[in-house]
């Protein structure tokens, strides 16, 4: 007889896949002791802040309901009821490109003279609590950064397993895929993961309900789909490299990283979604770039220059230390529009991710999005000022019914982001009474 409290896996030579919760095998019951069955927690970080005014909704009711997002947040409009947009949050003990990135999830201060982020990051506190119940305690993702600070430790470390020990990040989609679905000790075979676990999947389906049989097929199709995307992206990247279709200002992607940046970001987001749906982990983080990214977004129509240069939108000459020495802009207004266009592009990627989570269902038909809490934002407010107050931060997902979504949450006074971190830990069922300097959660969340 199958133990109803054991997580369901598919195993093959060189592969292991955690399956989504299946009603036939009671996969949900093992989590009920925490009071939040199948709740997930994600942190998605972007650098360089956002222009003043870009985070304020266009229309909000008197009681704080979101009625309409602004033009830069418009890609998220379809998910407006799933959002909490915040204002007046700040990081009192860290800001800027280096310290702000390193302490965004720790609530501490970064000591630039030694490797010390002031504490364990909030995601790793949750990972310690749930680690014994999932194949991976947590999943740390990042794009491979661009620019002169790509090797900077504080700018590249969001997650900390101890105050002086950063968590290792994965930047290559295929490496993440292998981490989720393959077993290194048995070698990496040049075969589809689906092929490796095919026999056991057939056996499991014979013992499962009709509904669970469909769930298994749906999950295996999703894994097969991302395998196909990898194959296409790698083939296309090799073709572009052979054609020398990269400009002098764009660095050639490392092997295994798609040349199309949107495809790269979406592959990573898809893997985060699959890790949540399958039960491989409950906790994940994703750095959309390092904390002082100089990535070019010239692929966005009407945009030129690096992300960091655009964030200093009040300087349009192209002659400051933040510029590349090549690009200049007609005026401040034009440059600010480009900066906002980059912000909007990233919102579009978040919207894609939320739609993906909404389409993935647990065994009882509830979407993964409804049982997720996704914090998305930056450690800098307006990029030109390097401000640490009124940070661009939003929440998405239902948190198993524990988040008051569809609202604009703006406290009456400036509030430490640590209170938000504490609130999320509480809603994950982690037994904590404080986080950093915060002893109370964020009111109204």
User: Is 27's pLDDT higher than 50?
Assistant: no
Q: What is the mean pLDDT of residues 43-68?
A: 96
pLDDT at site 145: 81
Distance CA 267, CA 271 (A): 6
User: Is 53's pLDDT higher than 90?
Assistant: yes
Q: What is the mean pLDDT of residues 44-61?
A: 96
Q: Which residue has the higher pLDDT, 113 or 298?
A: 298
Q: What is the DSSP letter of 281?
A: -
Beta partners for residue 162, in sequence order = 165
Q: What is the mean pLDDT of residues 361-369?
A: 90
Domain of residue 405 covers 9-191+261-427
Helix (H) or strand (E) holding 18: strand 15-18
Out of 198-207, 243-252, 266-275, 328-337, least confident range: 243-252
In the chain, the number of structural domains is 1
Question: What angle (nearest 5°) sits at the alpha carbon of residue 10, between those of residues 6 and 14?
Answer: 125
Name the band, by pLDDT with cuts 50, 70 and 90, for residue 286: very high
Decide if 272 is inside a domain: yes
Decide if 243 is inside a domain: no
pLDDT at site 445: 93
Q: What is the DSSP letter of 321?
A: T
pLDDT at site 28: 45
Report residue 440 as tokens: 């109370």
pLDDT at site 94: 57
Q: What is the mean pLDDT of residues 369-396?
A: 93
Share of the chain above pLDDT 70, in %: 76
Cα–Cα nearest to 45, from 346, 272, 296, 307: 346
Name the band, by pLDDT with cuts 50, 70 and 90, for residue 313: very high
User: Is 204's pLDDT higher than 80?
Assistant: no
- The string over 160-175, giving b where at least 16 C-beta atoms fall within 10 Å of a residue's C-beta and e elsewhere, is bbeeeebbebbbbbbe
Name the band, by pLDDT with cuts 50, 70 and 90, for residue 193: low
158 contact partners, CB below 8 Å, separation of at least 6 = 43, 45, 101, 102, 104, 105, 121, 140, 142, 285, 287
Q: Which residue has the higher pLDDT, 363 or 192?
A: 363
Q: What is the mean pLDDT of residues 200-214?
A: 66
- In the numeric block, the tokens 């194959």 are attached to 231
What mean pLDDT, rounded, does the chain reach?
83
Decide if 210 is inside a domain: no
User: Is 229's pLDDT higher than 90?
Assistant: no
How far is CA 312 from each of CA 69, 73, 222, 404, 429, rounded to the nearest angstrom?
24, 20, 41, 34, 41
pLDDT at site 22: 64
| pLDDT 10s digits, 121-179 | 999 999 999 888 888 899 999 999 877 778 888 999 999 999 999 999 999 988 887 77
User: Is 246's pLDDT higher than 80?
Assistant: no
Length of the chain: 445
Decide if 225 is inside a domain: no
Cα–Cα nearest to 193, from 271, 93, 119, 114: 271
CATH number at residue 53: 3.40.720
Decide if 342 is inside a domain: yes
- In the numeric block, the tokens 């501490």 are attached to 108
Distance CA 393, CA 408 (A): 11
pLDDT at site 151: 81
Name the band, by pLDDT with cuts 50, 70 and 90, for residue 263: very high
| pLDDT 10s digits, 411-445 | 999 999 999 999 999 999 999 999 999 999 999 99
403 contact partners, CB below 8 Å, separation of at least 6 = 84, 373, 395, 397, 427, 445
Q: Which residue has the higher pLDDT, 294 or 6?
A: 294
Decide if 239 is inside a domain: no
SS3 per residue for 44-78: EECCCCCCCCCCCCCEECCCCEEEECCCCCHHHHH
């Amino acid at each position: 007889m199958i133990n109803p409290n054991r997580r369901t896996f598919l195993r093959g030579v060189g592969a292991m896949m955690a399956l989504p919760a299946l009603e036939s095998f009671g996969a949900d019951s093992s989590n009920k002791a925490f009071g939040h069955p199948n709740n997930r927690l994600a942190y998605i970080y972007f650098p360089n802040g956002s222009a003043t005014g870009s985070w304020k909704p266009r229309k909000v009711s008197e009681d704080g309901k979101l009625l309409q997002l602004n033009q830069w947040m418009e890609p998220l409009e379809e998910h407006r009821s799933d959002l909490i947009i915040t204002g007046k949050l700040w990081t009192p003990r860290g800001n800027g490109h280096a310290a702000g990135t390193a302490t965004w999830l720790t609530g501490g201060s970064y000591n630039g003279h030694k490797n010390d982020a002031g504490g364990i990051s909030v995601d790793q506190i949750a990972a310690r609590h749930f680690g014994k119940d999932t194949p991976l305690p947590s999943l740390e993702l990042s794009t491979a950064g661009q620019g002169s600070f790509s090797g900077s430790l504080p700018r590249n470390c969001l997650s900390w397993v101890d105050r002086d020990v950063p968590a290792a990040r994965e930047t290559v989609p295929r490496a993440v895929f292998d981490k989720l679905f393959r077993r290194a000790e048995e070698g990496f075979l040049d075969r589809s993961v689906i092929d490796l676990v095919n026999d056991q999947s057939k056996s499991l389906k014979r013992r499962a309900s009709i509904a669970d049989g469909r769930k298994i097929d749906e999950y295996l199709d999703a894994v097969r789909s991302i395998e196909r995307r990898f194959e296409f992206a790698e083939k296309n990247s090799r073709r572009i490299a052979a054609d020398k279709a990269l400009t002098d200002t764009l660095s050639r992607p490392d092997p295994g990283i798609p040349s199309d940046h949107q495809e790269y970001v979406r592959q990573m987001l898809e893997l985060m979604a699959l890790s949540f749906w399958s039960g491989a982990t409950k906790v994940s983080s994703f750095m959309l770039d390092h904390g002082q990214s100089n990535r070019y977004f010239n692929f966005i129509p009407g945009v030129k220059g690096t992300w960091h240069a655009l964030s200093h939108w009040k300087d349009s000459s192209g002659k400051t230390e933040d510029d590349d020495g090549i690009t200049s802009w007609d005026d401040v207004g034009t440059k600010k529009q480009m900066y906002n266009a980059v912000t909007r592009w990233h919102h579009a990627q978040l919207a894609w991710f939320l739609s993906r989570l909404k389409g993935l269902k647990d065994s009882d038909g509830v979407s993964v999005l409804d049982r997720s809490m996704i914090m998305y934002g930056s450690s800098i407010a307006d990029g030109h000022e390097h401000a640490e107050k009124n940070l661009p931060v939003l929440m998405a997902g239902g948190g198993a019914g524990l988040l008051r979504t569809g609202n604009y949450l703006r406290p009456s006074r400036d509030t430490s982001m640590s209170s938000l971190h504490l609130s999320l830990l509480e809603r994950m069922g982690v037994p904590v009474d404080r986080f950093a300097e915060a002893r109370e959660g964020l009111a109204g969340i």
